[in-house]
Structure 1
Amino acid sequence: MFSYSTVETSTQLLVSAFETDLPVLPEVRAKGLDWVDIISDSAEPLIPIVFKAHESFAALKALEGIIAVALCKERFGENENVKAIVNCNHAGLFPAMSFLSTVDELYKWDPGMKKKIKDTDLNHVYGDVYRRMLTNIYRTKDGRFYHLHASLNATPTFEALGLPPYNANIVEKRAAHEVIQARALELTSGEIEELVRKINQAGSPCLTQEEFLATSYGKHVSSRPLFELEQLESTSPPLKLSPEGPNILSGVKILDLTRVIAGPVITRTLAEYGAQVLRVTSHNLPDQSYYAVDFNFGKRTIDLDLKSSEGRKAFENLLEEVDVIVDGYRPGALTKLGYGPENLLKRFAGKRGFVYVKESCYGEGGEWSDRPGWQQIADSVSGVSWANGKHWVWKNPSRLHFHWPISGELGCIATLNALHHRLTKGGSYYTSVSLVRYNAWLMSLGPYPEEIWRSMVTAHGQDSQKLRSSSNFDEVGLAAIRSMQRLYPQLLQDPDFMHVAASTPFGVVKTQSPVVRIEPYKTALRGWLNVTRPAEYDSPAEWVVT
């Protein structure tokens, strides 16, 4: 009988994370592993991905807890006897958050959800089947595969491919897939890559792990720590936070300049520690409306157009008191507006320190660092899509069962770490995370033992085996949720794992509760500072004392 322990493997992976030369302070490296306990109710991995995704989630949540404890000790006293607790099963559910959440008991895929959320799909990427199916893996003329992506506006890529940006005659996924697939078969993977790069849109050839590691970028990113940290200046005094708290990040003001999944996950998790988060979006910019249900917990949301004089004035007033700026937009977008890290360094010179957090697909340095991207693109370029597909019946690169929020988790860890530096040493810091760096680390951990993987395929096969290489990420995620509901119904009903907000602008929202448990320095065990709400819900654009 083959024995396996998610707790033991998660602990090993936590040690592996430290071995990526994490830029943490010496006391975290020396004592951190003693500050966290990883526990589990069962030894089975939950998510049918061939790599150790479940355990990597638990390891990163444990790392989050370690740095949160370090902050706690720095703020409330070194002798504080606190420890982080991470349940592996709870951590395994974390990336599935948006599929698990409900509004008035309706799931994301229920038709009635459309009436409960504000439509911010300005370019009809999510509601139009034809445009939605652009985000998929397609076979090319040379027998390779390429992952196209609609991003938040599918029109540029459709036009680059010579296809109409809209097709009102197509209302079924299969028909949309056939049209786009037919065009992809007329071009080589390299030709599609050239078209996509020319218009600066997201997309990637599906590389194997070996092909990825042979590129100069693959070599670069694989040699880097899980997150980057750069001290921008050292003259600002340490951040002063009241020892009265009550929570680890009480009094910390964070501007959330992000969209869709990974970026909003960073700030949602920081809000769990009592930070005051203000999410800034614009009614002129598209977004995925549904994710607000999960990822706007703990936040206030405002509407500002940073290209207007009024919007810039209001934003600059907010900057006067900000502690952390989280940037999830395309590389260089905020710098062009005058709000990049170097711009803020000049603005705050001699006044105050700050932390600037950058979340992106490709990260810092390397020849691809200026490219836009999404989790599916990171999966394709890094070899994860090929590796996972080969272990399922279709033997081609495939979409993964949800792990999209994980770079958001890395961003939360990186932010906590930068704040620990600022609280301890003073100064200002730039910290960054990338989707591809997580993937490179995940693959370096190796696949599950064959016996465990066969068991997972057998358990989840009833739902996942129905998928095809043409299945998009919604179908893949839904299949995983259905098998988890069938196999682990008790986890989805666990009151410690799920949080119910009885009164929100959406209705009664059920979402995942915070994974890391640190008592008594965490408000989210009793509820966030703010319940979730749609984008652009609050006014005026000012910090509110809570």
Structure 2
Amino acid sequence: MSSYSTIETTKQVLLSAFENNLPVLPEVRAKGLEYVDFLGDSSEPLIPIVLKAHESFAALKALEGIIAVALCKERFGLDQDLKASVNCNHAALFPAMSFLSTADDLPKWNPEMRKKIVDTDLNHVYSNVYRRMLTNIYRTKEGRFYHLHASLNATPTLEALGLPPYDEERNEYQAAQKVIAEHTQQLTTDELEAIIRTIKEAGSPCLTREEFLATSHGKHISSKPLFELDQLESTSPPLKLSPDGPNILSGVKILDLTRVIAGPVITRTLAEYGAQVLRVTSRNLPDQSYYAVDFNFGKRTINLDLKSQEGRQAFENLLEDVDVIVDGYRPGAIAKLGYGPNDLLKRFAGKRGFVYVKESCYGEGGEWSDRSGPGWQQISDSVSGVSWANGKALGLEEPVPPPFPLADFGAGELGCIATLNALHHRLTKGGSYFTSISLVKYNDWLMSLGSYSEPLWNSMVTAHGQDIRKLRHNSNFDRVGLAAISSIQRLYSHLWNEPDFLHEAAKTPFGAVKTQSPVVRIEPYKTATRGWLNVTRPAGYDHPPKWS
């Protein structure tokens, strides 16, 4: 397969991103590839999936760099030939970050890691095998497949299925799956879907690409660009940022209202550009706290209860200086508290502009956009056809979850790009902007890129086979991810030891942390050490609630 080039395919993928009405300013569209250099060519993609995930992340990182360079030129008035540098192999490791990061050399799945983090698993989903195993693909009565999800509280779905919320006798992987499977196989796919929609929890039938595109939502999503941009008002003056910098987003203040993966990835990446990121969480809300080890780099973190008068007052004080709000909660949740984009438009009228970033599973508009249940990466994979594509490529007549949270990291990267783009509009034209991204749109785009050729895929399966051939529809998220990371480390161990790929923080509240360094390099305006203002920390670490 020596004739294959991941860089050349990445360039084609990048061009495809521009073709579907990408809402960028003319300079970005005109310059495109002139603003980025690619490194790290490979004759075979790193990620063991038949879809072009490797190239999709390299292309998105390049798009991030292109818009960042344009923003940099606008801010600093630069005329020189400034370029972003993207190593495609480094970019391919981006969605594997949480499997590669360590604290005192411990990976996140090591039981000792629990001693290092603040426990935010309030509903015992991730510490209880039986409850955790709800998140899996299960067969239904007619032999189809449905992806259930424990979300951040497994109780509503377990009880709706007629199962006890806790079952301490089934504390082993297969035993827990077996009892859940016995119940799903008594229901048709439509019956199971009706249950999930009624209780407003997470779940989806496993659809093929063709089935997804036949739905009204599939048609809607496939007609949309990778991210959307709406101008909320045009009277606010252009954003003023100091020409002294030193980084591209120095002085930009971002409120991070997100949990789990996709949303925190957005703000972690924006923090690489020197932005002041303040992550707001609540002690009353569950989360997957082990992700804080890698996703909280560059951030200050505070706890606020936005349903209390004290919490609301502190939050509103922070709003007085905010430039960007990133919202990763269920559709309408933040608006119900009075802090949605229309509320902020009224609050800031005649004062200044802002950017509101909405990350969701299903996206804006379309039949499924107002689903009040939580959206998760696994649900996006199932509904969009990714899981079926993966299973069939492995020679199976069943869907198999893809390696790594591709849709989460894909949507997170799109959120970073969309934010940089909206800030470029603010810096250039003024006004306020609403920009949105979704997990389903990333997957729709990934599927649209097509599969690897049969010879290339056969070569990849031969190389990765001992780790990925054992996977089946009921291989849960962790097992699929661990199989893929085991394979990548076996085949490409030298990559994770590349100094440019690895960031080490010797002193953090978690201990000595090793994580992925920023993929996009724009010298001298963006580097890991100059960009990140803070080392990683647990949720609610900083007091009192202020920007710095």
Give TM class, smaller chain.
Answer: over 0.9
TM-score of the pair, normalised by structure 2: 0.98
Aligned mates of 2:457, 2:2 — CA distance in 1: 12
Q: CA deviation at 1:395?
A: 2.8
Contact 2:7 2:88 in 1 (8 A): yes
Residue of structure 1 in register with 2:5 after alignment: 5
Aligned residue pair count: 544
Aligned mates of 1:444, 1:212 — CA distance in 2: 12
Are positions 1:494 and 2:494 aligned together? no
Aligned mates of 2:109, 2:312 — CA distance in 1: 37
Residue of structure 2 in register with 1:411 after alignment: 415
TM-score of the pair, normalised by structure 1: 0.98
Contact 2:355 2:419 in 1 (8 A): yes
Aligned mates of 1:142, 1:505 — CA distance in 2: 51
Q: CA deviation at 1:526?
A: 4.8
Residue of structure 2 in register with 1:323 after alignment: 323
Aligned mates of 1:302, 1:240 — CA distance in 2: 27
1:304-325 deviations in whole A, cap 9, x for unaligned?
0001000000000000000000
Q: CA deviation at 1:165?
A: 1.0
Q: CA deviation at 1:144?
A: 0.7
Q: CA deviation at 1:78?
A: 3.9
1:66-117 deviations in whole A, cap 9, x for unaligned?
0000100000014143100100100000000000000001111212111111
Residue of structure 2 in register with 1:278 after alignment: 278
Residue of structure 2 in register with 1:384 after alignment: 386
Aligned mates of 1:513, 1:454 — CA distance in 2: 32
Tell me which moved more, 101-110 or 229-238. Answer: 101-110
Q: Which amino acid aligns with 1:163?
A: L
Contact 2:254 2:277 in 1 (8 A): yes
Contact 2:495 2:501 in 1 (8 A): yes
**Cα distance change on mapping 1:464 and 1:453 into 2, 3 Å:** same
Aligned mates of 1:301, 1:82 — CA distance in 2: 33
Contact 2:398 2:472 in 1 (8 A): no
**Cα distance change on mapping 1:208 and 1:41 into 2, 3 Å:** closer
Q: CA deviation at 1:33?
A: 1.8
Residue of structure 2 in register with 1:485 after alignment: 489
Aligned mates of 2:42, 2:53 — CA distance in 1: 16
Contact 1:262 1:407 in 2 (8 A): yes
Alignment of 1:102-501 (within 5 A): 102-371=102-371, 372-402=374-404, 403=406, 404-501=408-505
Residue of structure 1 in register with 2:520 after alignment: 516
1:44-67 deviations in whole A, cap 9, x for unaligned?
200111110000000000000000
Q: CA deviation at 1:393?
A: 3.9
Aligned mates of 1:281, 1:222 — CA distance in 2: 33
Contact 1:394 1:469 in 2 (8 A): no
Q: CA deviation at 1:14?
A: 0.2
Contact 1:52 1:447 in 2 (8 A): yes
Q: CA deviation at 1:43?
A: 2.5
**Which structure 1 segments of 5+ residues have no match?**
none
Contact 2:7 2:41 in 1 (8 A): no
Percentage identity across aligned positions? 78
Q: CA deviation at 1:465?
A: 1.4
Contact 1:208 1:387 in 2 (8 A): yes
**Partner SS state of residue 342, structure 1:** helix
Q: Which amino acid aligns with 1:11?
A: K
**Partner SS state of residue 485, structure 1:** helix
Q: Which amino acid aligns with 1:383?
A: G
Contact 1:237 1:426 in 2 (8 A): yes
Q: Which amino acid aligns with 1:257?
A: L
Q: Which amino acid aligns with 2:525?
A: Y
